[in-house]
Amino acid sequence: MTLAHEFVGQGRHAAFVHGFTQTGQSWKTLLPHLCTPLQSQLIDAPGHGLSHNGKRSLWEAGTDIIDTMQPGILLGYSMGARMSLHAALLHPAKVEALVLISSTAGIIDNQEREQRKRDDDDLAHHICEVGLDTFLTEWLDKPMFATLAHNDTDTQDRMRNTPEGLADSLRFAGTGTQTPLWSRLNELTMPVLLIAGELDKKFVQIAEEMKTHIPSSTLCVMAEAGHCVHLEKPQEVASAIDQWLFTH
């Protein structure tokens, strides 16, 4: 399934996949700070923006990304990073370089993963019950977004979604649905850049562990940044990506 997308700029092809409750438009905060000439393809993940069908597993979402993008760089944040990881494992020949921001390779503990699935299902029901506006207020009040400055552009982007799309995304592609991929990370033969915010300690630890499993990987921890590191520190993240792409 081809996902909704928009092209911005000219240069080396780069596909961008956003996080939960965002759309491809969210990357427009980062793009002006990138010096590398890129043809940026801003993809709406399943259940988000104009990609209305959220009933896609992570493997199906990975296939959708591969079907949508041209050969080149693949960049994903949070949920989008998990989808991008699946895409890179499915079709490594099409992913020349991979950037994973605030990512995970899955929850190893079976009971913890099953509980996360139940929590995601409950949250999906809650979204449809309270509506998009109320849910987004609750979502962005979570501690993991405490360091993200709220602004109208970000809010308007998230309001382009629907309760049904977000709920389906959680049910079909939430972290609780993800089969742990730790044992497969060594299959990633392309260069991989892992980015995490210093204040997002859980995901810094995950990124450090992922780095030990990925042969050609680089880890960049951004000072004074949380989970949504690329929106909190767009200039610094762009600089790190530029420097890494210069040699990859």
pLDDT at 186 over 90: yes
pLDDT at 152 over 90: no
Rounded Cα distance, 95 and 90, in Å: 10
* Burial of residue 247, with CB atoms counted within 10 A of its CB: 0-12 exposed, 13-18 middle, 19 or more buried: exposed
- Give pTM, 2 decimals: 0.97
Average pLDDT over residues 163-180: 98
pLDDT at 151 over 90: no
Rounded Cα distance, 226 and 160, in Å: 24
What angle, 0 to 180 degrees and rounded to 10, lies between the N-to-C axes of helices 132-140 and 163-173? 50
Range of the domain at 189: 5-246
C-alpha angle with apex 28: 158 to 51, nearest 5 degrees?
50
Which three-class secondary structure state does DSSP give residue 44?
A: coil
What CATH number has the domain bearing residue 131? 3.40.50.1820
pLDDT digit string (tens) for 95-135? 999 999 999 999 999 999 999 999 999 999 999 999 999 99
DSSP E strand boundaries for 4-135: 5-8, 12-17, 38-43, 72-77, 95-101
Among 239, 235, 202, 203, CA closest to 101? 203
Number of structural domains the chain divides into: 1
pLDDT digit string (tens) for 41-83? 999 999 999 999 999 999 999 999 999 999 999 999 999 999 9
pLDDT at 208 over 90: yes
pLDDT at 150 over 90: no
Average pLDDT over residues 33-46: 98
Among 217, 218, 223, CA closest to 236? 223
Q: Evaluate whether 20 touches 29 at the Cβ level (below 8 Å).
A: no
Please indicate whether residue 235 or residue 152 has the higher confidence score (pLDDT).
Answer: 235
Rounded Cα distance, 246 and 226, in Å: 26
Q: Evaluate whether 226 touches 200 at the Cβ level (below 8 Å).
A: yes
pLDDT at 248 over 90: no
Report how far Cα 64 is from the mean position of its chain's Cα atoms: 14
Handedness of CA 129, 133, 138, 143 (dihedral sign): positive
Per-residue exposure over 129-168, b if at least 16 CB sit within 10 Å of its own CB, e if not: eeebeebbeebbeeebbebbeeeeebeebbebbbbebbbb
Instruction: State the pLDDT confidence band at 31, using cuts at 50, 70 and 90.
Output: very high
